[in-house]
Amino acid sequence: MTQKKRIFSGMQPTGILTLGNYLGAMRNWVALQDEYDCIYSIVDLHSLTIRHEPKDLRQYRISLLAQYIACGIDPEKCILFMQSHVSAHAELTWILNCYTYMGELNRMTQFKEKAAKNESNINAGLFTYPVLMAADILLYQTHLVPVGEDQKQHLELARDIAGRFNGLYGDVFQIPEPYIPKVGARIMSLQDPESKMSKSDSNQNAFISLLDPPETIVRKFKRAVTDSETVVRFDIENKPGISNLMSIYSSVTGKSLEDIEREFEGKGYGDFKLAVGEAVAETLRPIQERYKDLLASRDYLEDVMKEGAEAAGYIAGKTLNKVYRKIGLR
Ligand code: ATP
Ligand code: LTN
């Protein structure tokens, strides 16, 4: 019997997922779970780089677990766990920090962007964040990492760290590959189509939350920033707003960009925006129903977390032991 390849990915418990998180990452996680050996984490240690009220963080963590399952992640098929429940993540991070160069971390665009946004709290965790992400991935001998476009640079760093470590000590880590979707890898803000849709945006109209009611979704698309033409045509450079809406519509309906251009030939932006809003609302409706039921099943969620932590801890422990032996700490 050939062993299934391993997948690992994670999201931060920093709020309700956006349509960007769903189309860029989560939907692939679901699609891959039959064919691969999947491990999905709620990366709560990563979210400490920004200050949260403890009670909010507690709520975000359990809510994100319910969102994962509502989107279709099946705890019977995958390992689902809370990063902070497996101490190997923090342990391996320290070691990998000693194999990562300041120059490498200095080049990370996410650090530069987040540091610019949080001038009053540019902590060391924000800087070494990609090393914790490398530890997450490498602990599980991961082959494939499904993420959105913005995480590509972090993944390349994880590959470099793994290669460097293997070069010194032999084959300790599997070298991971990114898995980035062709459509939907970078969903843009509805209010500023030049920047990424983000769940921590202060402007609520800039993103679609997975839990927005249908009327809100339709309204947010109606208000989406476009251009002064009236033609539905894909042209990222000159028509970033319309192109973003076309990518979203294509992702949720499966229609090609050419088909969409044809469908809306001779029609105005109003018709197009309404169609996008309705298609998105329809996609999210079943997720929202399942989410409500899951949040009410607290014991079930606790059980999933407990079992996930045990299964993940076992695999991670094996890699960590090997690392300790190789570097002379055993
Ligand atoms: P935050 O706003 O708190 O920084 P985020 O919305 O960027 O968070 P993360 O938890 O950092 O979300 O990312 C989870 C996953 O979603 C990652 O794989 C990331 O690449 C993907 N992702 C995030 N935003 C988008 C987007 N706009 N389009 C496509 N994929 C995205
Ligand atoms: N850094 C990622 C979240 C993340 C992750 C991971 C993704 C943390 N650890 C491991 C894939 C694999 C982010 O900011 N979206």
| pLDDT greater than 80 at residue 2 | no
Rounded CA separation 204/190 (Å): 10
**Which amino acid residue places its CA nearest to atom 2 of ligand 2?**
11
Token pair in block for residue 201: 């945006």
Q: Which residues line ligand 1 (CB under 6 A)?
A: 11-12, 14, 18, 20-21, 24-25, 147-148, 150-151, 185-187, 196-200
Cα–ligand 2 centroid distance for 133 (angstroms): 6
Supply the DSSP symbol for 206: G
**pLDDT (tens digit per residue) in 3-37:** 899 999 999 999 899 999 999 999 999 999 999 99
19 shares its domain with 131? yes
Rounded CA separation 14/49 (Å): 11
Rounded CA separation 162/176 (Å): 9
Token pair in block for residue 140: 């599980």
Strands (DSSP E) found in the chain: 6-11, 37-42, 79-82, 144-146, 177-179
18 belongs to a structural domain = yes
| pLDDT greater than 90 at residue 200 | no
194 belongs to a structural domain = no
- At 55 the three-state DSSP class reads helix
Using pLDDT thresholds of 50, 70 and 90, give the confidence band for residue 1. low
209 shares its domain with 179? no
Give the distance from CA 1 to its chain's centroid: 32
**pLDDT (tens digit per residue) in 72-99:** 999 999 999 999 999 999 999 999 999 9
- The arithmetic mean of pLDDT across residues 99-113, rounded, is 97
Residue to probe by mutation, ligand 1, list 16, 73, 142, 150, most atoms within 8 Å of CB = 150
Cα–ligand 1 centroid distance for 148 (angstroms): 7
Predicted pLDDT at 176: 98
- The arithmetic mean of pLDDT across residues 44-48, rounded, is 97
19 belongs to a structural domain = yes
168 shares its domain with 284? no
CATH number of residue 167's parent domain? 3.40.50.620
CATH number of residue 214's parent domain? 1.10.240.10
Q: State the CB neighbour count (10 A cutoff) for residue 95.
A: 16
Predicted pLDDT at 271: 97
Mean pLDDT check: name the lowest of 13-17, 38-42, 130-134: 13-17
Angstrom distances, CA of residue 239 to CA of 232, 236, 268: 9, 5, 15
Using pLDDT thresholds of 50, 70 and 90, give the confidence band for residue 181. confident
**Which amino acid residue places its CA nearest to atom 5 of ligand 1?**
198
Q: Shortest CA distance to 45 belongs to which of 115, 102, 92?
A: 92
State how many domains the chain has. Answer: 2
pTM of the model: 0.95
Q: Shortest CA distance to 205 belongs to which of 218, 223, 193?
A: 223
52 shares its domain with 75? yes
Domain boundaries, position 51:
6-185+298-327
Token pair in block for residue 281: 């609302």
Rounded CA separation 11/123 (Å): 20
16 belongs to a structural domain = yes
Query: What mean pLDDT, rounded, does the chain reach?
Result: 96
Burial (Cβ within 10 Å: 0-12, 13-18, ≥19) of residue 176: buried
Predicted pLDDT at 177: 98
1 belongs to a structural domain = no
